[in-house]
Amino acid sequence: MTRPLVSLREILAPAEADGYAVGAFIMCNAETADAIMAAAQQEKSPVIVMLGPKEEPVLGLQNTVQIVSTLAHNYDIPVCLHLDHSRDPAQVQAALEAGFPSVMVDASSRPDEENAQITRRIVELARKTGATVEAEIGFVGFPEMTTEADNTNSNPAESRLTQPAAAEHFVRVTGIDALAVSIGTAHGRNPGRPELDFQRLAEIERRVEVPLVLHGATGRAPDQIRRAIQLGIRKVNVATDLARVFADTMAEALQEGQGFFWHADAIVQVKQRWVALTRRWIEVLGSKCQIVDRGG
Ligand SMILES: [Zn+2]
């Protein structure tokens, strides 16, 4: 049977109850969205398909909602469509209006009070459509990227770790549904701190009721990810790992074809590799076989 796209609340509640994390994988087009869902179906896992600001221009918000909904109907697993890391409140609002069941508003590069105000406004908008909101306090750096919005931060590369008391206050005043924490990871290929700050994570978990989100997981040893999940991480974002496979596949195809490749062949390869990689992540996150067979 068909089912609509679900919000983070619906997809993370069982993860909270059973102590696993749901992977949030970045799509960029219909093919990659399909690969992510196919992998989750094979693993009988719930899945979060994410669209980030870099991917948004590929299809646009409305087309993305329509395409992901249509593709999700082919699978019998819960699928959440989530806007990742939008620093533009107007874009977040547009995503909610387009039918995104979940969004992340990221004002984490701004002072905490301003971050809370911007986030609170988005939560109020989201409540009208039943959508869920993720936000971040502390700052998971983007060492390899410079974006216009990062200019608000004195050093865009540098992460600021999440302060547990500030996190508790932030969740209370904003009413968000999930909190992204900065505990030593970094976005991109930069590995961040060698060891995650598990003590900090445990303290945040003790003070905060909503599910916690880990960004910048690429390159982390599976043991560290599993430990973070034991301590309360319920959503793990995966982007760079997938981007690298996409780029490598194209580069190999170009090399093998001596400067030319047939695009469809390369895209089919990308899909196969994305399915394999997404399945490996699902295994690490513990969401494998969490979907009980509903008997056809
Ligand atoms: Zn992130």
> Mind listing the pLDDT tens digit for each residue in 5-41?
999 999 999 999 999 999 999 999 999 999 999 999 9
**CA 283–ligand 1 middle distance (angstroms):** 21
pLDDT of residue 155: 53
Domain CATH for 75: 3.20.20.70
Residue 177 belongs to some domain of the structure: yes
Q: What stretches of 257-296 show up as alpha helix (H) in DSSP?
A: 263-285
Average pLDDT over residues 153-181: 88
**CA 216–ligand 1 middle distance (angstroms):** 6
- Select which of 18, 34, 76, 84 is catalytic: 84
Residue 290 belongs to some domain of the structure: no
Which pLDDT tens digit goes with each residue over 87-128? 999 999 999 999 999 999 999 999 999 999 999 999 999 999
Return d(Cα 114, Cα 111) in angstroms, integer.
5
pLDDT of residue 248: 97
Give the dihedral sign, CA 104/109/113/117. negative
How does residue 189 score in pLDDT terms, banded at 50, 70 and 90? confident
Our answer to whether residue 84 is catalytic in this structure is yes
A 10 A CB-CB count for 62 gives 14
- Tell whether the model's pLDDT for residue 148 goes beyond 60: no
**CA 150–ligand 1 middle distance (angstroms):** 13
Average pLDDT over residues 188-204: 88
Residue 291 belongs to some domain of the structure: no
Return d(Cα 177, Cα 111) in angstroms, integer.
21
Average pLDDT, the chain: 92
**CA 2–ligand 1 middle distance (angstroms):** 30
**CA 85–ligand 1 middle distance (angstroms):** 6
pLDDT of residue 3: 55
Return d(Cα 183, Cα 35) in angstroms, integer.
30
Residue 188 belongs to some domain of the structure: yes
Q: Which domain holds residue 215?
A: 8-285
Contact status, residue 207 vs residue 165, Cβ threshold 8 Å: yes
Residue 88 belongs to some domain of the structure: yes
The neighbourhood of ligand 1, an ion, using CB within 5 A, equals 215
- Tell whether the model's pLDDT for residue 293 goes beyond 60: no
Residue 295 belongs to some domain of the structure: no
* Residue percentage of the chain with pLDDT more than 90: 86
**CA 206–ligand 1 middle distance (angstroms):** 23
